[in-house]
């Protein structure tokens, strides 16, 4: 792809925008990087190359005046799609310059955990691999690196701006309601996720979650080999469970590998593990080596993370559960009664699916923030609910009411933006708040 001499507009100056601006400028493009936020609210502008022209704190320029528009994932399509001559996102841009096979992973939940496992498993198979994309490291940073495989976490926002993107191995982990304020409907959201397979060919591999009806339905449009993963039953090709072992079904038969020693044993965590094995074995990695590598991978922060046990009560941080599907999986991971902290900012999502997941598991739901009333409307008929303004208030009440052998679980089912910058900040705040709880909680016979 020729960039030299092209007039390029970068929309948005987050991590991926800054990376794209510098990348295009280094290849001879005339680059304008624009963001409507004022300078004082934008980070790391000093990392932009001197050749990059900057426009901040103003209405975005007319995209029709540029040869190429590179939108950041957070910029909606309606801001540029109709008038731009050519649009490609940073994932598409990276794919045109990467000279190694690409593994791409998308899905509503589990992307970061899965690509972390994939990277470790590929390295165990003696392949040089690095992860980038939606994890916070720009995809363009992999261009020119000494790699055998580029591993990309890809969001639905990023998939809106791909054109020729054709990963050697692509996976969709699951599709549950999320970002409907952006995509408008589940049908559009699922179709956007399926774009990860659109340009694959017969020699490529598509990895699909057999347990997810929406994802399983994508198989008919896949042009390459289809591999499935399942925690619930057998699959025709791919990875599933056979008793306490992983069963890998290939063209030449089945191979079983023990799962002992991995930290990925709960429902959705195990699904991520099976997805990763399906991905790397498509690239020739021995499954026993893959599982061995997984034994050395710890779960990522803010994903069903044990924070403390106080007075016999287990406190768990799953701040990354930013949508109903992730929160339901989190609830289903515990056998003990749960004191559930949920709430946050509203993304236009239907919470009704949470009622079934909560019934019989949740002792009480402590609902806070913008979505407290909407969550209560769904849950009131199934479980006890209480409402609070802030996460701190909800945690204080849950800690006072929980008994030994019970769980206080932060699984918000919502984005964090009403009270926190992101899910990481929310999770860190929860950790500190748990640490600050009184050393000796009230006796359970007392009034808290």
Q: Which residues are catalytic?
A: 111, 134, 179
Q: Report the Cα 329 to chain-centroid distance in Å.
A: 14
Provide φ and ψ at 409, rounded to 5°.
-120, 120
CA distance 111 to 129: 16
**Nearest to residue 340, comparing CAs of 280, 297, 383, 309?**
383
CA distance 29 to 140: 15
CA atoms of 163 and 264, how far apart (whole Å): 35
Concatenating the DSSP letter of every residue in 73-97 gives TTS-GGGTTTT-S-B--HHHHHHHH
3-state secondary structure of 259: coil
Please tell me what DSSP assigns to residue 281: H
Do the beta carbons of residue 73 and residue 179 sit within 8 Å? no
Relative orientation angle of helices 324-331 and 267-281, to the nearest 10 degrees: 110
The SS3 assignment for 373 reads: helix
CA 255/CA 245 separation, integer angstroms? 10
Q: Which residue has the tokens 């598409």?
A: 92
Contacts of 120 (CB under 8 A, 6+ apart): 293, 294, 296, 297
């Amino acid at each position: 792809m020729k960039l030299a001499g092209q007039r390029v507009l970068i929309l948005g100056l987050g991590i991926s925008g800054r990376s794209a601006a510098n990348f295009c400028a280094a290849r001879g493009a005339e680059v304008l990087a624009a963001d409507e936020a004022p300078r004082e609210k934008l980070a790391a502008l000093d990392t932009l190359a001197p050749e990059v022209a900057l426009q901040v704190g103003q209405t975005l320029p007319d995209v029709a005046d540029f040869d190429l528009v590179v939108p950041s994932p957070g910029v909606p399509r309606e801001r540029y799609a109709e008038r731009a001559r050519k649009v490609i996102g940073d994932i598409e841009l990276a794919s045109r310059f990467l000279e190694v096979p690409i593994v791409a992973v998308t899905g509503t939940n589990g992307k970061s955990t899965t690509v972390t496992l994939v990277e470790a498993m590929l390295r165990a198979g003696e392949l040089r691999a690095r992860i980038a994309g939606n994890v916070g490291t720009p995809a363009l940073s992999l261009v020119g690196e000494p790699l055998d495989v580029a591993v990309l976490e890809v969001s639905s926002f990023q998939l809106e701006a791909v054109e020729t993107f054709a990963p050697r191995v692509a996976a969709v982990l699951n599709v549950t309601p999320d970002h409907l304020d952006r995509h408008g409907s589940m049908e559009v959201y699922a179709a956007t996720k399926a774009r990860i397979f659109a340009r694959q060919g017969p020699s490529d591999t598509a990895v699909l979650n057999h347990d997810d009806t929406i994802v399983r339905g994508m198989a008919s449009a896949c042009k390459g080999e289809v591999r499935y993963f399942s925690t619930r039953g057998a699959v025709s090709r791919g990875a599933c469970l056979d008793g306490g072992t992983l069963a890998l079904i290939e063209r030449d038969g089945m191979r079983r590998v023990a799962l002992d020693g991995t930290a990925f044993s709960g429902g959705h965590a195990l699904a991520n593990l099976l997805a990763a094995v399906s991905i790397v074995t498509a690239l020739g990695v021995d499954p026993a080596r893959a599982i061995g590598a997984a034994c050395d991978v710890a779960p990522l922060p803010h994903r069903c993370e044990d924070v403390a046990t106080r007075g016999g009560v287990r406190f768990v941080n799953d701040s990354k559960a930013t949508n109903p599907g992730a929160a339901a999986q989190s609830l289903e991971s515990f056998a003990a009664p749960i004191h559930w902290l949920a709430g946050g900012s509203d993304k236009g999502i239907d919470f009704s699916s949470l009622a079934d997941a909560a019934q019989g598991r949740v002792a009480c739901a402590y609902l806070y923030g913008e979505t407290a009333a909407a969550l209560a409307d769904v849950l009131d008929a199934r479980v006890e609910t209480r409402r609070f303004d802030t996460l701190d208030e909800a945690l204080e009440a849950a800690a006072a009411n929980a008994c030994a052998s019970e769980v206080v679980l932060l699984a918000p089912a919502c984005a964090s933006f009403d009270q926190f910058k992101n899910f990481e900040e929310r999770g860190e705040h929860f950790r500190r708040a748990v640490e600050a709880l009184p050393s000796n909680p009230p006796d359970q016979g007392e009034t808290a």
